[in-house]
Amino acid sequence: MGSGEYSPLFETRRGRGRLIYRTFAISLFVSICFIWVYRLSHITRNGEDGKWACLGLLGAELWFGFYWVLTQALRWNLVFRQPFKNRLSQRYENRLPRVDIFVCTADPEIEPPMMVINTVLSVMAYDYPPEKTSVYLSDDAASEITFYAMLEAFTFAKHWVPFCKRFNVEPRSPAAYFNSDPNQTKELKAIKKLYNEMERRIEDATKLGGVPKEARLKHKGFSQWDSYSSRRDHDTILQILLHKNDPNNSKDVDGFVLPTLVYLAREKRPQYPHNFKAGAMNSLLRVSSNISNGKIILNVDCDMYSNNSQSVRDALCFFMDEEKGHEIAFVQYPQHYENVTKNDLYGSILVSVSEVEFHGADGYGGPLYIGTGCFHKRDSLCGMKFSDQYRNDWKIEDDQFIEASFQKLEEKSRALASCTYEENTLWGKEIGLKYGCPVEDVITGLSIQCQGWKSVYCNPPRRAFLGVAPTTLSQTLVQHKRWSEGNFQILFSKYSTVWYALGRINFGLQMGYCTYGLWAPNCLATLYYCIIPSLYLLKGIPLFPKMSSPWFIPFAYVILGETSYSLLEFLFSGGTFQGWWNDLRIWLYKRTSSYLFAYIDTILKLFGYSDSAFTITAKVTEEDASKRHYKEIMDFGTSSPMFTILATLALLNLFCFLSVLKDAVLREGGLGAYEKMVLQVLLCGFLVLINLPLYHGLFLRKDNGRLPRSTAIKSTALALGMGLPNFTVAMVILLNLNAVLGIRFVIDREECFSHNVQYGGDRVHASFVVIQVDSGWQQYTQDGVDLMVKGPSGDRIQDFRDKISEKFEFVARDSGPHRFCFTNKSPYHETIDFDVHSNHYSYFDQHAEDEHFNPLLEHVIKLEEALFNIQYEQHWLEAQTERQAIVNNAMSSRAVHKAILEAAALVGASFLQVYLLRRLFERKLVI
């Protein structure tokens, strides 16, 4: 082919409107410089108190300006890629390389087997030669049920794969396709019936917690669990389920070869580190090199099913391009989710990252590797350095592959997944994914780019992969804590973006990496801006220029300019106005909670006080939480130090803003007194407005997704302690919190209540007092009530008979709703005061390793529970006191009534006696 006839396999085009944006960015930077000048020249003009506040604001504004400059690198040079699959087919259809697909799972409870096998089936059905496709599932939980699900999946694949090719199905995840409501043809009904039967068998095994005996006897692979002790102590479990050298099982119902399918649970021992997902990926690299040895590797998370059957061919357009393909190490697809609502309540899509910033990084040599939806060149992933002499040689791949029976391949490959294989080797250091960082994917991609390779960002109109996004605020914040902590740790690692990457990658890309690496330190400046201006608003000390001052202009320009640009960027990326507002809220929540804990943990790790662990984001959502998610109602639902911080900041700004409104109404001059503090009032008002879901969750909501009462109490006290001890409105709110510590109801015959226990093993405290019996004469009766407590499965836990009051506790065996049913056997209505709450003292035992919370926070939580127990005890005593008062009043009333009746009886007897005596004497006189 002559050079004049060359047609590239992909096209690169620059983003439009670059000149307009660059002009705007320069003007914004000039305004930021004016703000710095203002702050430096006005530090000493507000008195000693205001001086220190302004110094802090200067530090925060210097940081914001510096960080803003870093983010411009990802918007300065946007590029967009367009692959040409038809050209690929014309040139290389008979020489397409082998592709190994890695699917990773780690916990069958939060990553259900049905979700895992839907992902596996979707990648098995790619529009790609099946004899050149191999799918590997790494199961770090070594779950028999997941293995059983894989056996069911490969049987179903014999029908599903030809069905997809015959009818050009999209997407090729069975669950996603059936939920898309396709036309109910005869073939579809038949395949859906097979899927439902498979799903029923897997769900039954999951509920029973074990594999059916018939299935265990049917497949020899289950014998590998004979030496199984626990998730962290077992031999290598390797099973080649489908292989072309096994003619009995390798073909589908149409007689065509199916992709190779392999199940792997690498060996684990307690005395050996297993390095989480990075260790699993490295084991797959070694095992796959012995079984299929594909030159291209795709890795996806178990919840990221394939939504586009052409994704492999799109990626190969970059790798196999004759002019630039040899320098490309990996092709990264964006991370998108199928369960995100219209307005993306938790900002899960990260619109600015996926639709703008990664395109900007691509303009400087390629995006980050984000751990899923990424196609790798095996050579680069295994540590090879790039050189100008390197060229792709797709022709000799078949000659290098050694044919062998799958039984021998199994035996030989098991040793490659042993926990001792990597000892005294470069695995995890210079070969494979890097160890020692919570975001092993990012640091691995950075090290590959530092070795001279480039990467490509492919963002086609049809999403390549769709996953499951967090559906609660807690899951979102925990996920971002891990990401920000890992990115911050990279700055201090061997592969630091500051010194190691200097000169090895493009400076613009280096700035882009620093943008994510400095997520965590953003917490300090953001927290300062959320607290100090509001507190000084109460003191009447202005920290910003007044509206009539020329210095007000740069502040107004930066605020309006940056806000308008972020809104337009979000809308042009396909978002909505409400979605932008939600994204802004989550941006604030992350900076004041997730990033703060990530920053603290990283600093502690540097000084040797903590270690990092990998946190798996839950993929299972309770039914009530799911309903709230799709209704776009923010779900808190648990107690967390992060929520305490968020609630405290929200209440602090609310109290400050209400104080301003109070002064505007009551003080002489009204709002005119705040003319010099307009920006402070606007900032405080913005923080109040954006925190509306927190106020709703603290005081108004009654569902299980609300914030716990203990969080409301503690955050209110903390907000008051930060500077509002005499604020009347706040004190009223605090005093009225006792009203929600229990419920009071009138019972006729029977009343039942439910209390949701978050974790099995929690200690539940409950109490009730019969306050009043509404008998006709207000007489006190000794008749009590019956109470029966039942667990989630209906088992009886407690049973009280004829009790006037009782205070008790028990340990919940299972999580879920516990029912408390009262029965009134008296003929009168009775008023009952009832209180219940649960303590979860094992919270840090279960999550401290994942969350890396400061040990001090554990004591804070325990103190919180102790204080709540005191309030719980006080509430019960108050109810008893009130009951006793009612009893005393009733007894006093009865005594008065008795005295009156006795006096009336005596008077009546006296009158009767007089009457009878008179009649007696009258008769005597007549005689």
As a whole number of angstroms, the distance between CA 520 and CA 502 comes to: 21
Q: Give the residue with greater pLDDT, 290 vs 607.
A: 290
Predicted local distance difference test score (pLDDT) of residue 530 = 95
Predicted local distance difference test score (pLDDT) of residue 234 = 92
As a whole number of angstroms, the distance between CA 504 and CA 451 comes to: 7
Mean pLDDT, rounded, for 658-665? 81
Q: Give the residue with greater pLDDT, 221 vs 839.
A: 221
**Range scoring the smallest mean pLDDT among 53-62, 692-701, 918-927:** 918-927
Mean pLDDT, rounded, for 187-214? 92
N-to-C CA span, the chain: 158
Binned at pLDDT 50, 70 and 90, residue 672 comes out as low
As a whole number of angstroms, the distance between CA 474 and CA 187 comes to: 43
Smallest Cα–Cα separation from 146: which of 259, 88, 231, 54?
231
Query: pLDDT tens for residues 334-385?
Result: 999 999 999 999 999 999 999 999 999 999 999 999 999 999 999 999 999 9
- Write down the residue that tokens 């127990």 correspond to: 869
**Range scoring the smallest mean pLDDT among 7-11, 129-133, 639-643, 739-743:** 739-743
**Do 685 and 605 form a contact (C-beta atoms < 8 A)?**
no
pLDDT at 116 over 70: yes
Predicted local distance difference test score (pLDDT) of residue 226 = 86
**Do 367 and 516 form a contact (C-beta atoms < 8 A)?**
no
Smallest Cα–Cα separation from 233: which of 191, 181, 268?
268
CB atoms under 10 Å from CB of 164, counted, come to 24
Strand partners, 261: 135, 242
As a whole number of angstroms, the distance between CA 565 and CA 210 comes to: 55
- Write down the residue that tokens 């899923």 correspond to: 372
Per DSSP, the three-state class of 366 is coil
Residues 6 or more apart whose Cβ sits within 8 Å of residue 318: 9, 10, 81, 83, 324, 325, 328, 331, 456, 458
Burial of 776 (0-12, 13-18, 19+ CB in 10 A): exposed
Mean pLDDT, rounded, for 278-303? 95
Q: DSSP label at 804?
A: S
As a whole number of angstroms, the distance between CA 888 and CA 729 comes to: 35
As a whole number of angstroms, the distance between CA 102 and CA 285 comes to: 9
Radius of gyration of the chain (CA): 35
**Do 378 and 227 form a contact (C-beta atoms < 8 A)?**
no
**Range scoring the smallest mean pLDDT among 194-203, 269-278, 823-832:** 823-832
Query: pLDDT tens for residues 320-339?
Result: 999 999 999 999 999 999 99
Predicted local distance difference test score (pLDDT) of residue 887 = 61
Burial of 688 (0-12, 13-18, 19+ CB in 10 A): buried
As a whole number of angstroms, the distance between CA 73 and CA 66 comes to: 12
Binned at pLDDT 50, 70 and 90, residue 848 comes out as very low
pLDDT at 610 over 50: yes
Residues 6 or more apart whose Cβ sits within 8 Å of residue 160: 121, 124, 125, 174, 191, 195
CA triplet 279, 284, 290: central angle to 5 degrees? 135
Predicted local distance difference test score (pLDDT) of residue 671 = 60
Q: Strand 305-306 to strand 465-467: parallel, antiparallel, or no bridges (unpaired)?
A: antiparallel
- Write down the residue that tokens 């009654």 correspond to: 702
pLDDT at 669 over 70: no
CB atoms under 10 Å from CB of 631, counted, come to 9
Mean pLDDT for all residues in the chain: 84
As a whole number of angstroms, the distance between CA 503 and CA 496 comes to: 12
Segment (H or E) for 394: none
Binned at pLDDT 50, 70 and 90, residue 659 comes out as confident
Q: Strand 336-337 to strand 99-105: parallel, antiparallel, or no bridges (unpaired)?
A: unpaired
Q: How many CA within 13 A on the CB side of residue 261? A: 27
Segment (H or E) for 456: strand 454-457
**Do 439 and 488 form a contact (C-beta atoms < 8 A)?**
no
- Write down the residue that tokens 């065996």 correspond to: 813
Per DSSP, the three-state class of 752 is strand
Say which amino acid occupies 289: S
Predicted local distance difference test score (pLDDT) of residue 401 = 46
Say which amino acid occupies 320: M
As a whole number of angstroms, the distance between CA 317 and CA 85 comes to: 7
Query: pLDDT tens for residues 522-571?
Result: 999 999 999 999 999 888 888 999 998 999 999 999 999 999 999 999 99
Mean pLDDT, rounded, for 188-206? 94
pLDDT at 402 over 60: no
Q: What tokens were used for 13?
A: 């085009």
Q: How far lies 493's CA from each of 336, 435, 496, 604, in Å?
A: 29, 11, 5, 15
Residue 441 designated active-site: yes
Binned at pLDDT 50, 70 and 90, residue 849 comes out as very low
As a whole number of angstroms, the distance between CA 660 and CA 650 comes to: 16
Q: What percent of the chain has pLDDT over 90?
A: 54
Binned at pLDDT 50, 70 and 90, residue 850 comes out as very low
Q: How many CA within 13 A on the CB side of residue 312? A: 29
Q: Which of 140, 252, 301, 344 is catalytic?
A: 140
The torsion angles phi and psi of 510, rounded to 5 degrees, stand at: -60, -40
Q: How many CA within 13 A on the CB side of residue 542? A: 16
Predicted local distance difference test score (pLDDT) of residue 883 = 65
Per DSSP, the three-state class of 130 is helix
Query: pLDDT tens for residues 93-102?
Result: 989 999 999 9
Binned at pLDDT 50, 70 and 90, residue 447 comes out as very high
**Do 754 and 819 form a contact (C-beta atoms < 8 A)?**
yes
Segment (H or E) for 213: helix 213-218
pLDDT at 855 over 70: no
Predicted local distance difference test score (pLDDT) of residue 731 = 38
Residue 140 designated active-site: yes
CB atoms under 10 Å from CB of 694, counted, come to 26
Burial of 48 (0-12, 13-18, 19+ CB in 10 A): exposed
Query: pLDDT tens for residues 2-48?
Result: 445 678 999 999 988 899 999 999 999 999 999 999 999 887 665 56
Q: Which of 139, 321, 362, 441 is catalytic?
A: 441
Q: What tokens were used for 307?
A: 């939504």
Predicted local distance difference test score (pLDDT) of residue 733 = 38
As a whole number of angstroms, the distance between CA 311 and CA 290 comes to: 25
Segment (H or E) for 787: strand 785-790
Predicted local distance difference test score (pLDDT) of residue 35 = 96
